[in-house]
Structures are given as C-alpha cells and as structure tokens.
Amino acid sequence: MEIQFKNILLRDMKESDIEDYVRWFTTETQWMDWDAPWEIDRSDANTERRSWTEYYESMREMPDDVPRWKFEIDCEGSHIGWVSSYLTDENYEWISARQVKNGQNRKGRAPHGSVVLGPVSISNPSPMPVVTA
C-alpha cells in the first residue's frame, strides 16, 4: 500500500528497509533519547536484522484492504523513517493489541489513537532532502 503527497510517500516496508532499521537501532540511535527513552533496549546488528526480517516476512503479503498500524516514510526516493500508531486509554497508557482483540480495554473504555514518528536519519552525514508537504 502507498499514500503519496507531493514528495512524501508513506508505504509498506520493503526488504531493503531492513538494513536501515539495523542501523537506526544499533548505531544511529540518537532518536531513542527523544522517543520514549524509558523503553530503550539496545541490541546488536544480528539480533535486529533477524527481528526486522521476521517482521518484514510477516507483513509483506498484507492485502491493501487490511488496516495498517505502520508506514515507512520516503522523501524523494530516500527511506527516512517511519510513522506508527498504537492504542492508549484515556490516561495515555498503552493498550496491547491482544487486549483490544479480547475486548479487555482498560477500565472498559474505548481506546484512543496516538501517532509516533520514527527516526529521520538524524545522524545521516549527507544532506537530507527538504520535506515540503
């Protein structure tokens, strides 16, 4: 699935994205200081590569009519990050997909959506394209 607006493309993951994730989760990790720093769990390249390969394999055949919780962000042909969503209750506490599926939303209330932006090549030494959305 793809969503295009000017020079920004939101798309499903490609196999070539795996190495970007390996880099973002092992060497270019500055973004982790700003995105839920209490959740940081450092990993090694082999573990990340295996994990992202498994994720890619589980998602690559997803039909276009299935709702997405995550998109990759391309800007002018460069993979620069991701955007994802997750469910929270009225106190902004995370609700797992299992809880939602089983109807076990905390306190019986409807979940709210939240959006989180992933890294945008923070330490990329090459000039980043200008995003004009």
Write out the chain's pLDDT in tens, 133 residues. Answer: 999 999 999 999 999 999 999 999 999 888 888 776 666 677 899 999 999 999 999 999 889 888 888 899 999 999 999 988 777 777 777 776 666 655 555 444 444 444 444 554 433 333 334 343 4
pTM above 0.75, yes or no: no
Share of the chain above pLDDT 90, in %: 40
pLDDT computed for residue 29 by the predictor: 85
CA dihedral 35, 26, 127, 2 (to 10 degrees): -70
pLDDT computed for residue 123 by the predictor: 36
C-beta of residue 133 within 8 angstroms of C-beta of residue 5 = yes
Q: What backbone phi and psi angles, to 5 degrees, belong to 7?
A: -95, 15
What sign does the CA torsion over 28, 3, 36, 53 have?
A: negative
pLDDT computed for residue 108 by the predictor: 46
